[in-house]
Amino acid sequence: MPDVITLGETMVLFAPLEPGPLRYARHFEMRFGGAESNFAVGIVRLGFSAGWISRLGDDEFGRYIFAQLRGEGVDVSRVKFDPEAPTGLFFKELGRPGGTRVYYYRRHSAASRLSPEDLDAEYFAGARWLHLTGITPALSESCRAAVEAALGLARRFGLTVSFDPNLRLKLWPLATARRVLLPLLQQADVVLGGHEELCLLLEKAAPEAAAEALLAAGVKVVAVKLGAEGALVITADSRERVSAFPVAEVVDPVGAGDAFDAGFVAGQLLGRTLAESARLGNACGALMVSVRGDYEALPTLAEAEEFMAGRLPPAR
């Protein structure tokens, strides 16, 4: 059984080989991406076992994702192929003002049919950690029920729970996100969120105030991702700002938050302090943005340690 369990949608990604508006793109490379599977790959590379629960279309795209994640060492034994719904797709647009744009084609996908019936209690019984994101409950009512069921199993078997809100306003309006996500976040031990999304969800002007509100609701640790400013880790008894690692050029920002999550969780599983875990998360995020792709640049623990020691520069 894996050390860490996560669940959610992974889609096939088509990325143009040249920057510019998609309407002029002629050549694409096929990859895949999803917050939870990115996280799972990150956990595996950092030395722990990870299981990813989802549904894929019974199609070539689904088989591609399944094979790739299995090849990365992620346990995909609880993935189901759905013959009645397709694997979701998304496209990246590179070089636009404001950075990368992403276009999703995921409505009625196989993953949106994930439900509590797809969860295996025995699988949770042998795990140590459950990681969830706010993307999954936004996909459908059955996905929302699956997340709630996963939280119930985590409580039943004593798993530590981390939750990244990963707010996606393309999937639902802010008012709905608040109504659904806040009760879920309050059931987590650790919340790993970006400063902007936490302020939006908690209706606070500063991330510190948002973190304090979560702590008051029962969350034990809040790690606020501050991008180039690093991270802020807050508990009821402490507050530490952990500096970021400088990056010469941000090639592709997608996946940096997932990399931070993997580094932070791995740090905790290694028995490191909260600040040391955030530092590992910052290192993973810095290495991630230096290369194109949603998961390709996720480091091994040895690579992250070398980078933090100043002996491994980000790729260029």
Q: Among all residues, which ones are annotated catalytic?
A: 258
- Residue 190: strand, helix, or coil: strand
Distance between CA atoms of residues 181 and 316, nearest Å: 37
Pairing of strands 160-164, 11-16: unpaired
77-91: burial string, b at 16+ Cβ within 10 Å, e else = ebbeebeebbbbbbb
**Both tokens assigned to 115:** 């439900």
Of 180, 129, 133, the C-alpha closest to 158 is 129
Alpha helices in the chain (DSSP H): 35-45, 60-71, 121-125, 136-139, 141-157, 174-185, 195-202, 207-216, 256-269, 274-288, 301-308
What does the radius of gyration of the chain's CA atoms come to, in whole angstroms? Answer: 18
Orientation of helix 35-45 relative to helix 256-269, angle to 10°: 40
Check: CB of residue 207 under 8 Å from CB of residue 198: yes
Whole-angstrom distance, CA of residue 225 vs CA of residue 305: 20
Q: What tokens does 141 get?
A: 């009512």
For residues 231 and 243, the answer to whether their CB atoms sit within 8 Å is no
Distance (Å, rounded) from C-alpha 78 to C-alpha 51? 8
Residues in CB range of 94: below 8 A, 6 or more apart: 15, 16, 18, 19, 20, 100
The backbone torsions φ and ψ at residue 297, rounded to the nearest 5 degrees and listed phi first, read -90, 5
Length of the chain: 316
